[in-house]
Amino acid sequence: MLLLIKRDEYQIFVTMMYDSLVLILTNEYDPTVNFLHVIPSELKITSEGVEYGISYVRGNFRNLKIRITKSKIKIEGSIHVFCKGNNLEPMSFNEFIEATNLLEQMLQLPFENARVSRLDFSGNILMKHPIVAYFTYFGQKSRFKKQVFNNGINYNSEELILVLYDKIKELKHKRDVIPEYFHGKNVLRFEMRFMRKLGKSFNVPELKLSKLKEPAFFNQLCLKWRQEFKSVAMEMISPIGLNSIGSKPKLLEELALLYIYQIGIDNFLNEISTWQLTNEITKKEAYEYRKFIKEKVVEKYPLAENELIRELNQKIKVAARFEV
């Protein structure tokens, strides 16, 4: 899916598509087939031998890594890169179908029956500002463990990993070619990585490659991609528009308000009551603290939103309107 709209003097650009896959085909459909006897000439063999008593051949087809034994073929790599040469340029759903058909023709095997043991579904979003500026606003996500790394954020659960990172920075680090259109652009990449129990994740006995070729399944993934993004964005912890301030007392006040917002207004009010009951502060001081919160926090901070959060929410909302 590709969306490109000119709005507010900058572009909203979203491209969502399958990326890394691990596909496994066994000869259960025909036990008489020996995959080692049907190695395609297009395969660039890198090694062969015996592991744990099983003969194997390893090789590459473009960027894809392929391992072949008598009874099993395993393919892993980015289908997006296989199709386009990179996973930044848009790949249409029809191009994905063509890429999988090419694989099947090359192998001369019924690869639609292959089991999918890993599935990455990714979206590239063109942003107005450098991507690092947005990472501050992503908070915790329920039932996921948040991990911050040099170029982004991971949210990990048992069956799903969510990753947000600066796609251009990653390509530069790998010294990969950046398509001309993206020079000087800011691209936020959001990936869903289904690493385990894919059948359970999609409520099927086994997830097969044939399922990925169904438009309804692709649309289901688009919806989940948007829901997972929004579930993180809705829990964003924001500095609530903290501005550069010349006065030190004003800066300290702003920082105090930020801290109160982060720990929760009700929690802080309860703390004031405890201080008063234990005679750590006077009744007058407690009154002044509550007055400060009512005047400065209740009206301003819970509803505050900055430009970066508005941009993120706007672009996900626009993406939600488009499917295959």
pLDDT in tens, 48-89: 999 999 999 999 999 999 999 999 999 999 999 999 999 988
Mean pLDDT of 35-58: 93
- Residue scoring higher pLDDT (41 or 10): 41
Please give the Cα distance from 53 to 61 (Å, whole number).
26
- Does residue 5 carry a pLDDT above 60? no
Instruction: Please name the helix (run of DSSP H) or strand (run of DSSP E) that holds residue 261, with its range, or none.
Output: helix 248-263
- Does residue 38 carry a pLDDT above 90? no
pLDDT value, residue 36: 94
Please give the Cα distance from 111 to 24 (Å, whole number).
9
Beta strand segments in the chain, E: 2-7, 10-26, 44-51, 54-61, 64-68, 72-78, 115-127, 145-149, 152-156, 160-166, 186-194
> Mean pLDDT of all residues in the chain?
84
- Does residue 241 carry a pLDDT above 60? no
Angle between helices 265-277 and 283-293 (to 10 degrees): 170
Mean pLDDT of 138-158: 88
The tokens describing 126, both together, are 């063109």
Dmax (CA) of the chain: 88
For 165-196, letters b (16+ CB in 10 Å) and e give bbbbbebeeeeeebeeebeebbbbbbbbbbbe
Per-residue pLDDT of 305-319, as tens digits, reads: 577 878 887 887 776
Cα separation of the two ends of the chain: 6
pLDDT value, residue 302: 39
Please give the Cα distance from 29 to 176 (Å, whole number).
40
Q: Kindly indicate the confidence band of residue 7, based on its pLDDT and cuts at 50, 70 and 90.
A: very low
Query: Range with the lowest mean pLDDT among 40-49, 56-65, 155-164, 231-240?
Result: 231-240
Q: What is the rounded radius of gyration, in angstroms, for the C-alpha atoms of the chain?
A: 26
- Does residue 22 carry a pLDDT above 90? yes
Q: Kindly indicate the confidence band of residue 139, based on its pLDDT and cuts at 50, 70 and 90.
A: confident
So where are the chain's domains?
A: 2-21+85-237+311-319, 248-298
Q: Kindly indicate the confidence band of residue 157, based on its pLDDT and cuts at 50, 70 and 90.
A: very high
Residue 87: closest CA among 107, 62, 57:
62
Mean pLDDT of 116-139: 89
**Contact criterion met (CB below 8 Å) for 151 and 172:** no
- Residue scoring higher pLDDT (249 or 284): 284
Q: Which residue's entry shows tokens 């979203």?
A: 14
Mean pLDDT of 15-43: 91
- Does residue 47 carry a pLDDT above 90? yes
β 44-51/72-78 pair status: unpaired
Q: Is 94 exposed, middle or buried (0-12, 13-18, 19+ CB in 10 A)?
A: exposed
